[in-house]
Amino acid sequence: MLAGISVEYYTRLERGGARGASPDVLEAVARALQLDEAERAHLFDLVRSVKSPGPLTRRPVHDRVRPTILRVLDAIVTAPAYVRNGRLDILAANNLGRALYAPVFAMGASTPNVARYIFLDAEACEFFPDWEAIASDAVAILRAEAGRDPYDRRLSDLVGELSTRSDEFRLRWAAHNVKFHRAGTKRLHHPVVGALTLSFEALEVASDAGQRTNIYTAEPASSSDVALRLLASWAAGELRTPADQ
């Protein structure tokens, strides 16, 4: 009643029969269900994939980071920064970003993946003191990406791998939660400099679909600021490779 549609029609929507659903109907359903911004976008993504099934619905996703963006990363010398895609692959990072996420890079994969580290590395719970929230956020990001691009084979392979190897991932995936991850605070326990509480901003790379640049900063004169400066000194001595991942 709240959406102004019949029970039969709504039931058909829930079962995937959404090819004839208009934007006005979807907006009404979103309001009735009190969906937040991420959930509303996910609803529209799911219906879009139903209306135009098949490989032609794939978005032009770019996994190669352009040289201009690499130079921008290298120019950011006092803050950890990296570029990721919707699968949570780290596509490129500056030296301080590599230092901050050293445990993720230490997994040895050609393309480090944050979700794989969270759920498959035994030390992830120590690196992320708020592991439960971090894990749920990671799955929500992957679920939203699956709605945007349901024909991404590499995403399907990643979800299949994590579902097979991690009960924690499988339970969270079944919840169908989605979330935008644009800004916030993250606590880390780095193996070199210890506890860090950092603010982050996720900035969309507008010219390259699916890429986001994550930049971390510490509150000035805080213990985390001191630790980040120590990490920068360590990175300067230990990580001399430029951001050319």
Task: Please list the pLDDT of the chain residue by residue as tens digits (245 residues).
Answer: 999 999 999 998 888 888 888 999 999 999 999 999 999 999 999 888 877 655 544 555 568 999 999 999 999 999 999 999 999 999 999 999 999 999 999 998 889 999 999 999 999 999 999 999 999 999 999 999 999 988 899 999 999 999 999 999 999 999 999 998 899 999 999 999 999 999 999 999 988 989 999 999 999 999 999 999 999 999 887 544 444 44
Q: Whole-prediction pTM value?
A: 0.87
**244 belongs to a structural domain:** no
What is the reported pLDDT for 50? Answer: 78
* Token reading at 104: 């993720």
For residue 69, give the H/E element and its range: helix 67-75
Size of the chain, expressed as the number of residues it contains: 245
Residues 102 and 193 in one domain: yes
Residues 185 and 222 in one domain: yes
What is the reported pLDDT for 244? Answer: 42
194 — alpha (psi -120 to 50), left (phi > 0) or beta?
left
Residues 73 and 48 in one domain: no
Residues 117 and 173 in one domain: yes
Q: SS3 of 184, please?
A: strand
Q: SS3 of 84, please?
A: strand
Between the two ends of the chain, the Cα-to-Cα distance in Å is 53
List the alpha helices (DSSP H) in 76-196.
95-100, 102-105, 114-120, 124-127, 131-148, 153-165, 167-174
Number of domains the chain contains? 2
Range of the domain at 203: 67-238
- Angle, vertex CA 183, rays to CA 36 and CA 91, nearest 5: 110
**24 belongs to a structural domain:** yes
Which of 57, 84, 99 lies at the terminal end of a domain, its last residue?
Answer: 57
**14 belongs to a structural domain:** yes
Residues 115 and 174 in one domain: yes
What is the reported pLDDT for 181? Answer: 87
Q: What pairing do the DSSP bridges indicate for beta strands 212-217 and 81-84?
A: antiparallel
